[in-house]
Amino acid sequence: MKPPHSYSIADLAKHISAKIIGNDKIIITHVAPIQRAKTGDLTFLMGNAYRRYLSDTKASAVILSQADADACAVTALVVKNPEYAFARIAHLFNTAKKPIIGIHPTAVIAKTAHIDSSASIGAHCVIGENVAIGANTILHAGVIISDDVKIGSDCQLYSNITLYHQVTLGNRVILHSGVVIGSDGFGLAHNEGVWEKIPQLGSVSIADDVEIGANTCVDRGALENTMIETGVKIDNLVQIAHNVVIGEHSVIAGCTAIAGSTTIGRHCMIGGSTNIGGHLTICDGTIFTGGAMVTKSIKEPGIYSSGTGLFPNKVWRNVVAKLRRSVITDH
């Protein structure tokens, strides 16, 4: 069987502006990890952890940096950033089929909605009043779009996503299954033992080139919008509370929770299971390692951590006991 995609090494090198060292007539049919690649595969090398596989990889070619080129026994594509170059090439081998343009007969669409003729609306989608959906945007089955939502061009919304009223998406936004955008923020006022709900009158604004992972929730603002700026990438199972602002090109790993009215700067990297308190400001270029507990604003960029790495339970109990004694002694 002929592979669904095949490319000459020369064409791939041109695609990523790489220098070829070796046979420029090779045909590549698949991409694969360096330790499991075989003939016909293209792989890449990034970082010391996988360098030991370079000398005996079975791949037909490897994307790598100039520093590793001499150690490569097969054809090499030399670039400055091998991981980025590999990501660009991997798109060429994506076998996911695009849905057919048009509206599925089971979709329920308000008469006031405007859907570009090049868009694809899947089975059992529900689209509310005054919704606008741009060119080449794809809604997979079961997407729910409430009233007055604006969706830009070239977006992809996977199955079972819900966008509440007045949410705005820019262009090239990707939302994975189970995402909920614009649900009410956790706003409550306390009076004599009773909690009164504070109406959440803002919405959510998501800029261009944002990707949000499966089952992530982004709450609408209380008075102003929750804001996700250009190029932000958010992993699965993340909670973004009301009035949070996430700056351009920041990345947030899975199971992170960000409390209300916190501002995350640009180009930040937030590790998995990080918990960030409310009403904080995190400056541009901040990195939180996984499991960090952030309780105060960060004014200087850098790498921040909290908690401890894993210990056997008995060792951990001893460490905690010593820490407590140290704190009591200091006070």
The residues annotated as belonging to the active site are 242
Q: Decide: 129 and 147 in contact? Cβ < 8 Å.
A: yes
The residues near 256 (Cβ < 8 Å, ≥ 6 apart) are 235, 238, 239, 270, 271, 272, 273, 274, 275, 276
Q: How many CB atoms lie within 10 A of CB 167?
A: 24
Distance CA 296, CA 174 (A): 31
What 227-231 contacts at long range (C-beta under 8 Å, 24+ apart), as own/partner pairs, is 228/204, 229/266, 230/170, 231/207
**Dist. CA 51–CA 55, nearest whole Å:** 8
Cα separation values, 220 from 78, 206, 242, Å: 46, 11, 5
- Residues 86 and 91: their CA atoms lie apart, in Å, by 9
In whole angstroms, give the CA distance from residue 57 to residue 63: 12
Hey, what are 116's tokens? Answer: 């570009």
Q: Burial of 173 by CB count in 10 Å (0-12 exposed, 13-18 middle, 19+ buried)?
A: buried
> Given the structure tokens 């997979």, which residue do they identify?
140
Q: Give the length of the chain.
A: 331
Task: Give the residue from 227, 277, 228, 263 showing the smallest Cα distance to 249.
Answer: 228
